[in-house]
């Protein structure tokens, strides 16, 4: 289930970026007293009452001819469209302004839950000044202070209370969800059409044609149900000029969250580019199953060494995806496309694989016998036992005398021994060290 999305909107210089940083728990947005500094929509993850959500910080909305105002208004409108809940941020110092009323008029049309917050209420004496904001017609105003962190708990309570219910978001049982991600124009939409054998998705040579995530259901010969999500291309930040394409990055990330398995699509003609690694990083960090698809393989002149050389480049550039299988395909000739559903099913089984504690500890003891645990400053790591605690992705807890003694290199060694012993192809897994009490 994708995380709910919270958009923070409002006129310039009311403190949206400060509130955004508070909710995200770190300084992500640029904070400056010059109005209009935040020109791009920036997103991060937040958490409250055990619920994780994505936060979008927007540029201010204004109808004046100040620089960047039209672009900022566009981005805010796009964020409003994407959001499940909107925080409308105003400022107690200026009171209700014409710009606030203009923002409110835009929000009336959004048909989304709107939480009205009044920022810079830095002391109790200022709380009496928030009642003027009832005139905006958006319900009870919540007094907050971004600089001091006051009132954010009540604000977040109201935000979380308006999240879509789990029943509304529930995905059907037994369906394998997978998505295509990659830079624009690597052939994602063409692959969707070739797999389905029909023109389900608009295909164009113009980069960035697909600006939304499109779901398609199909069933294979064995009756297994798949949901295929074709996402908009994730474009390098410095090369994005259109607000709708920036918007597509958020959509792609939400599609990754909804996916069980992500197909990272590369362009064989262009080779591996830096942005490919960043795109794949989204899926890896989300703990999703991954297949690397090298599309347009039919366009290359090949000899007996071409595939091996390409694989070596991929393994060198994507070292963190050593577990991901590589498939060389062509949307035009449909080369190897028939193998994709079977590989997806294999990885889905691997994601859900559970290993008994007795088998895990046999592997663990054998690994320690072959490569004794490291020591640091006279203290040696002691490993007591290991157990699996979760799937999708598979997660293992290893109990030790001191987690700090489990060096990264030895952790990697243990991970490799687990992969050598059990089939976890295509899925990342987590190894967590806990101190035995």
Known binding residue 67? Answer is: no
Known binding residue 244? Answer is: no
Known binding residue 188? Answer is: yes
Known binding residue 114? Answer is: no
Known binding residue 119? Answer is: yes
Strands, E, within 273-380: which ranges? Answer: 289-295, 326-328, 375-376, 379-380
Strands, E, within 335-404: which ranges? Answer: 375-376, 379-380, 383-390, 395-400
User: Rounded to an integer, what distance in angstroms lies between the CA atom of residue 21 and that of residue 23?
Assistant: 5
Known binding residue 296? Answer is: yes
Say if residue 97 is preceded by a cis peptide, omega within 30 of 0.
Answer: no
Known binding residue 80? Answer is: no
Known binding residue 397? Answer is: no
The SS3 of residue 175 is strand
Known binding residue 238? Answer is: no
User: Rounded to an integer, what distance in angstroms lies between the CA atom of residue 98 and that of residue 100?
Assistant: 5
Locate 171 and state its tokens. Answer: 């995905």
The SS3 of residue 107 is helix
Known binding residue 189? Answer is: yes
SS (H, E, C) 60-79: CCCCCCCCCHHHHHHHHHHH
The SS3 of residue 234 is coil
Known binding residue 11? Answer is: yes
Known binding residue 423? Answer is: no
Known binding residue 58? Answer is: yes
Residue 253 CA, chain-centre distance (Å), reads 4
Known binding residue 288? Answer is: no
Known binding residue 59? Answer is: yes
Known binding residue 231? Answer is: yes
Known binding residue 57? Answer is: yes
Known binding residue 50? Answer is: no
Known binding residue 15? Answer is: yes
342 sits in the region (left: phi over 0; alpha: psi -120 to 50; else beta) called alpha
Known binding residue 251? Answer is: no
Known binding residue 17? Answer is: yes
Known binding residue 61? Answer is: yes
Known binding residue 154? Answer is: no
Known binding residue 258? Answer is: no
Known binding residue 34? Answer is: no
Known binding residue 37? Answer is: no
User: Rounded to an integer, what distance in angstroms lies between the CA atom of residue 206 and that of residue 307?
Assistant: 28
Closest by CA position to 195, among listed 325, 302, 344:
344
Known binding residue 122? Answer is: yes
Known binding residue 295? Answer is: yes
Which residues are annotated binding-site positions? 10-17, 57-61, 119-122, 182-189, 230-234, 295-298
Which residues are annotated binding-site positions for GTP? 10-17, 57-61, 119-122, 182-189, 230-234, 295-298
């Amino acid at each position: 289930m994708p995380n709910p999305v919270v958009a923070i909107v409002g006129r310039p210089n009311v403190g949206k970026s400060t509130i955004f940083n508070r909710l995200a728990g770190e300084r992500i947005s640029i904070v400056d007293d010059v109005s209009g500094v935040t020109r791009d929509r920036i997103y991060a993850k937040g958490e409250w009452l055990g619920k994780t959500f994505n936060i979008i910080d927007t540029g201010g909305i204004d109808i004046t001819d100040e620089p960047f105002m039209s672009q900022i208004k566009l981005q805010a409108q796009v964020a409003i469209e994407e959001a499940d809940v909107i925080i409308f941020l105003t400022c107690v110092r200026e009171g209700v302004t014409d710009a606030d009323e203009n923002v409110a008029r835009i929000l009336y049309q959004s048909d989304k839950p709107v939480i009205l917050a009044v920022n810079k209420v830095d002391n109790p004496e200022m709380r009496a000044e928030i009642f003027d904001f009832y005139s905006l017609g958006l319900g009870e105003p919540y007094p907050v202070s971004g600089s001091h962190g006051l009132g954010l708990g009540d604000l977040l309570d109201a935000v979380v209370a308006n999240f879509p219910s789990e029943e509304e978001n529930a995905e059907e049982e037994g369906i394998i969800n997978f998505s295509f991600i990659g830079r624009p124009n690597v052939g994602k939409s063409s692959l969707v059409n070739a797999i389905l054998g029909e023109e389900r998705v608009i295909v164009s040579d113009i980069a960035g044609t697909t600006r939304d995530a499109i779901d398609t259901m199909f069933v294979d010969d064995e009756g297994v149900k798949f949901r295929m999500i074709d996402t908009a291309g994730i474009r390098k930040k410095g090369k994005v000029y259109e607000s709708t394409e920036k918007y597509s990055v958020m959509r792609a990330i939400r599609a990754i969250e909804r996916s069980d398995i992500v197909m990272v699509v590369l362009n064989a003609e262009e080779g591996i580019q830096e942005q490919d690694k960043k795109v794949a990083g989204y899926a890896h960090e989300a703990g999703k199953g991954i297949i690397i698809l090298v599309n347009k393989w039919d366009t290359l002149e090949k000899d007996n060494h071409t595939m091996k050389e390409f694989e070596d480049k991929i393994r060198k550039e994507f070292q963190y995806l050593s577990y991901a299988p590589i498939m060389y395909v062509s949307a035009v000739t449909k080369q190897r496309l028939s193998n994709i559903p079977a590989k997806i099913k294999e990885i889905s089984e691997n994601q859900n694989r559970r290993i008994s504690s007795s088998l895990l500890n046999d592997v663990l003891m054998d690994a320690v016998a072959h490569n004794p645990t490291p020591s640091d400053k006279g203290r040696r790591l002691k490993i007591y036992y290991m157990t699996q605690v979760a799937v999708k992705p598979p997660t293992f807890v290893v109990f030790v005398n001191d987690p700090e003694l489990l060096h990264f290199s030895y952790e990697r060694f243990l991970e490799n021994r687990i992969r050598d012993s059990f089939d976890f192809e295509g899925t990342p897994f987590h190894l967590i060290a806990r101190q035995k009490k």
